């Protein structure tokens, strides 16, 4: 797993904070395991809390619902959102805006690769429950807005110019396509490598790749 945002910023992590982070991760991973085993509708907050050995009240100190436990697996989500946006703005001058966004997302992609089995299971749950995808999109609205603003700052454009939002959605679409391929491959190829390739293809205008002769239309 990649270091927490506090570790990256150099601030020491206290015992209480470490325990909170570990409890967050344990509750999230347990919720995912139980949902995979039983199905979303057959798992309650009490089930998750009991499996971890904490009270339901403790669960609600970390998550508003069991769905949040599935969608917020890491305790530094809010801090990561800020750091990613800052990374877009402060990326080296020689990088294109697209490269800057991909570079900013790289630590999170590396975390997915490191926690491969967990993320393969989470993506299977999301496929089985589209309502979770809708909730995830709604929860990410603030992250999206922050990223669009960061791209605008990097490019010197107004936040309401269409380019920052267009770039964000193009990059996000590339990442989603890579995630789906990564899932189909069972995580056999690193997500980071798949995204690097996707960025190169998008950067040159997304040309149509050569079609194998057997696959050509007659």
Alpha carbon distances (Å) from 129 to 24, 66, 74, 182, 184: 23, 13, 21, 19, 18
Buried/exposed code over 12-39 (b: 16+ C-beta within 10 A; e: otherwise) = eeeeeeeeebebbbbbbbbbbebbeeee
pLDDT of amino acid 11:
60
* Residue extents of the structural domains in the chain: 14-75, 76-204
- pLDDT score, position 14: 87
Give the per-residue pLDDT at 4: 42
Please check whether residue 25 is in contact with residue 32, taking contact to mean a CB–CB distance below 8 angstroms: no
User: Which residue, chain included where needed, has tokens 């995580």?
Assistant: 187
Q: What angle separates helix 191-203 from helix 97-114, to the nearest 10 degrees?
A: 160
Does the 14-75 domain belong in CATH 4.10.93.10? no
In which residue are the tokens 């999301």 written? 126
Does the domain formed by 76-204 have CATH 1.10.357.10?
Answer: yes
Task: Give residue-wise pLDDT tens across range 174-193.
Answer: 999 999 999 999 999 999 99
By C-alpha distance, which of 112, 111, 129 is closest to 36? 129
pLDDT digits (tens, 9 = 90+) for 13-61: 688 899 999 999 999 999 999 999 999 999 999 999 999 999 999 999 9
Residue 1 binned pLDDT confidence (cut-offs 50, 70, 90): very low
d(CA 151, CA 168): 8
Residue 7 has pLDDT above 70, yes or no: no
Confidence of residue 217 (pLDDT cuts 50, 70, 90): low
pLDDT digits (tens, 9 = 90+) for 109-167: 999 999 999 999 999 999 999 999 999 999 999 999 999 999 999 999 998 999 999 99
């Amino acid at each position: 797993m990649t270091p927490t945002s506090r570790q990256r910023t150099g601030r020491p992590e206290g015992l209480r904070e470490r325990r909170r982070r570990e409890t967050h991760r344990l509750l999230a991973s347990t919720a995912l395991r139980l949902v995979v085993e039983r199905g979303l509708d057959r798992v309650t907050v009490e089930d998750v809390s009991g499996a971890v050995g904490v009270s339901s009240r403790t669960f609600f100190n970390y998550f508003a619902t069991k769905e949040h436990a599935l969608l917020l697996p890491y305790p530094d989500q809010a801090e990561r959102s800020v750091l990613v946006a800052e990374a877009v703005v402060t990326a080296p001058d020689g990088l294109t805006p697209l490269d800057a966004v991909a570079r900013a997302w790289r630590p999170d992609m590396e975390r997915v690769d490191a926690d491969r089995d967990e993320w393969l299971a989470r993506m299977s749950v999301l496929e089985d429950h589209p309502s979770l995808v809708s909730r995830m999109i709604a929860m990410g609205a603030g992250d999206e807005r922050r990223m669009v603003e960061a791209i605008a700052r990097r490019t010197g454009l107004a936040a309401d110019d269409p380019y920052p939002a267009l770039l964000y959605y193009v990059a996000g679409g590339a990442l989603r396509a890579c995630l789906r391929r990564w899932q189909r491959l069972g995580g056999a190829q690193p997500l980071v490598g798949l995204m690097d390739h996707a960025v190169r293809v998008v950067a040159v205008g997304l040309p149509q790749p050569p079609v194998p002769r057997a696959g050509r239309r007659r």
